[in-house]
Chain A
Amino acid sequence: EPEVTQTPSHQVTQMGQEVILRCVPISNHLYFYWYRQILGQKVEFLVSFYNNEISEKSEIFDDQFSVERPDGSNFTLKIRSTKLEDSAMYFCASSARTGLAKNIQYFGAGTRLSVL
């Protein structure tokens, strides 16, 4: 069964450093998302991406965050200068192109980001 793949599974970084979280969405999907979950809290939407541009973003997704689809398979989330409060699980998701199926989002296993 096709799945969303995220790497690395755990990223440790120093405060102020840049990190790039990587995702390979399901191959025929065209809509891509990033969510985060701070330990013990709810899953929160960050950004959605379609047709090489951001469709929607939340208040959390400020100027420190950016997303990119550098090639036909990868979808990345960059945090320019990490803060302690960026420590969280980051989930990538994707959904299909047409009909009701495009509202079913499939999630990766997540990247645990630890900012020290």
Chain B
Amino acid sequence: DAKTTQPPSMDCAEGRAANLPCNHSTISGNEYVYWYRQIHSQGPQYIIHGLKNNETNEMASLIITEDRKSSTLILPHATLRDTAVYYCIVRGNNYGGSQGNLIFGKGTKLSVKP
């Protein structure tokens, strides 16, 4: 699975959009970009994933550059409860028996401030 690079920390004002970048320059054609977050020692929580098209769900939007070497997770209206560590993970999709694991880096610690 490709390696990812994220800034160690970011601040965001409550109610503003939080834009979290991720570099994955070695991503291969069949690898997806997944985003998870971990709120203070709770279990990681799935947010969104994508291959090459931009994606949006009830939690966030994912913008993937055309060359797929980087992506941005957007929380459109950040709240205090969005304060967490956000992980960008790149992995392939296996359709065989092995599911593989998620490789967590250090992520970006997002602090949403009032």
The total of chain A residues at the interface (CB under 8 A) is 29
Residues on the A chain within 8 Å of B101, using CB = 33, 35, 45, 48, 56, 58
Residues on the B chain within 8 Å of A35, using CB = 101-102
> A-side interface residues toward B, CB under 8 Å?
4, 31, 33, 35, 37, 42-45, 48, 50-51, 55-56, 58, 89, 91, 93, 95, 100, 102-110
Interface contact B43-A48, CB-CB below 8 Å: no
- Supposing A43-B38, A56-B98, A107-B43 touch, asked if A100 and B103 sit within 8 A by C-beta, the answer is no
Q: Which of A33, A56, A91, A107 has the most CB of B within 10 A?
A: A107
Q: Which of A35, A43, A100, A109 has the most CB of B within 10 A?
A: A43
Q: How far is the CB of A74 from chain B (nearest CB, A)?
A: 17
Q: How far is the CB of A6 from chain B (nearest CB, A)?
A: 8
Interface contact A95-B44, CB-CB below 8 Å: no
Interface contact A103-B99, CB-CB below 8 Å: yes
**Measured CA separation A115–B43 after assembly (Å):** 20
Q: Which of B87, B93, B100, B103 has the most CB of A within 10 A?
A: B100
Interface contact A48-B100, CB-CB below 8 Å: yes
Interface contact B43-A91, CB-CB below 8 Å: yes
**Measured CA separation A58–B87 after assembly (Å):** 20
Interface contact A50-B99, CB-CB below 8 Å: yes
Residues on the B chain within 8 Å of A104, using CB = 34, 46, 49
Interface contact A43-B44, CB-CB below 8 Å: yes
Q: How far is the CB of B2 from chain A (nearest CB, A)?
A: 15
Residues on the A chain within 8 Å of B44, using CB = 43, 91, 93, 105, 107
**Measured CA separation A82–B108 after assembly (Å):** 32
Apart from A35-B102, A48-B99, A105-B46, what 10 extra A-B contacts exist at CB < 8 Å?
Answer: A37-B41, A43-B38, A51-B97, A55-B98, A56-B98, A58-B101, A100-B93, A103-B49, A103-B91, A103-B94
Residues on the B chain within 8 Å of A48, using CB = 98-101
